[in-house]
Amino acid sequence: MALLELISITKSYGKPEKKTLVLDNLNFSVSEGEMLAVMGKSGSGKTTLLNIIAGIDYQDTGEYIFDNQSVKLRRTSDGVRFRRNKIGVIVQHFALINDYTVYENVEMGLWESKLSRRERRTRTIETLEKLEISGLVNQYPPELSGGEKQRTAIGRAVVARPLLILADEPTGSLDKQTEDSIMDIFKDMNQSGSTMIIITHDEDVASRCTRTIKLEKR
């Protein structure tokens, strides 16, 4: 079954007299349980696409259907409500909160959930263990390596067990070994039921996904 569908999506940026068309009549769907790689040159619109799927940005024309419902968002707070407990996002440059510890950064992913404090704690600890960063709970992001920051960002995105996980170049600046272990974690999450969309420039990462789509630069 399709988890999401994009129908004739277009998106441009800039003033009406000087518009840059980024997505031109884009059509595709993603089935439940897929692990989709999105590739394409820098500037081809990968992050733009991810932002539309996440409800962070909106298309100009066309229809976006998520979980059988047409997504119509007008403001930031609509997006927050739309994502709540359904979509976890790992953004391009982590966006960790430097004043929060690793534990607090991961637990943040549950702020919108209805779990009790005790359940939040259990869930956060489970996630930290799975990502092998339990030893870092009291450290702050500036004290972490790139791979550790990435695991923390992943923890925050997955702790609520969303239907869909979106990751924007999650292995961008990591060495091969760290990249492999992050991909193992993603495979694991995919096999336990999360649909995944991973933006990547890396053929090895794409080859570990179940399908690849390529965006063309306009």
Ligand X SMILES: Nc1ncnc2c1ncn2[C@@H]1O[C@H](COP(=O)(O)OP(=O)(O)OP(=O)(O)O)[C@@H](O)[C@H]1O
Q: Does 171 bind ligand X (CB under 6 A)?
A: no
Question: Of Mg ion, ligand X, none, which one does residue 193 interact with (CB within 5 to 8 Å by kind)?
Answer: none
Minimal distance, residue 112 CB to Mg ion, in Å = 25
Q: Does 47 bind ligand X (CB under 6 A)?
A: yes
Number of shown-chain residues binding Mg ion (CB under 5 A): 1
Minimal distance, residue 209 CB to ligand X, in Å = 17
Site string for ligand X, 48-87 (x = CB under 6 A): x---------------------------------------
- The DSSP line for the chain is -EEEEEEEEEEEES-GGG-EEEEEEEEEEEETT-EEEEEE-TTSSHHHHHHHHHTSS--SEEEEEETTEE----SHHHHHHHHTTTEEEE-TT----TTS-HHHHHHGGGTTS---HHHHHHHHHHHHHHTT-GGGTT--GGGS-HHHHHHHHHHHHHTT--SEEEEESTTTT--HHHHHHHHHHHHHHHHTT-EEEEE-S-HHHHHTSSEEEEEPP-
Among 46, 149, 151, 208, binds ligand X (CB under 6 A): 46
Question: Of ligand X, Mg ion, none, which one does residue 40 interact with (CB within 5 to 8 Å by kind)?
Answer: ligand X
Question: Of ligand X, Mg ion, none, which one does residue 135 interact with (CB within 5 to 8 Å by kind)?
Answer: none
Q: List residues near ligand X by CB under 6 A.
A: 13-14, 20, 22, 40, 42-48
Q: List residues near Mg ion by CB under 5 A.
A: 47
